Amino acid sequence: MTNLPLADRYLAIKATFDAAEAALKAIKIEVGDTGASLIEGIDCDLAVHLSQRPSISEKLLRENFGITKEQLATCKVEGLPFPVIKIKAKLSKAA
């Protein structure tokens, strides 16, 4: 695979990753649907618990506390930059 151009290597690895990610999402749903807090296996056990991440509703802040959109905007901070890579497929050059 190392003889392939970088863009093509990226595409191949991303396709593998996307398939694995879809399979992982599906199995997470299956695990959650069991309702069990512990699922025992041969190579591992799964401890299952629900977790929630708190968030702030800008709409509720505006409605309940009279905070303006401008005030909210001044409280926002920029996250760390990260690369965004988009794949553009090429048309095959059929003879």
- Tokens 């968030």 correspond to what residue? 55
**Global pTM?**
0.59
pLDDT of 94 over the 70 cut: no
| Interval 54-74: pLDDT, tens | 888 989 999 999 999 999 889
Please say whether the beta carbons of 63 and 48 come within 8 A. Answer: no
The CA distance from 16 to 1, in Å, is: 13
Q: Which residues contact 10 (CB under 8 A, 6 or more apart)?
A: 85, 87
For 7-23, what is the mean pLDDT? 95
| Interval 21-42: pLDDT, tens | 999 999 999 998 999 999 998 8
So where are the chain's domains? Answer: 6-75
Please say whether the beta carbons of 11 and 87 come within 8 A. Answer: yes
The CA distance from 44 to 88, in Å, is: 40
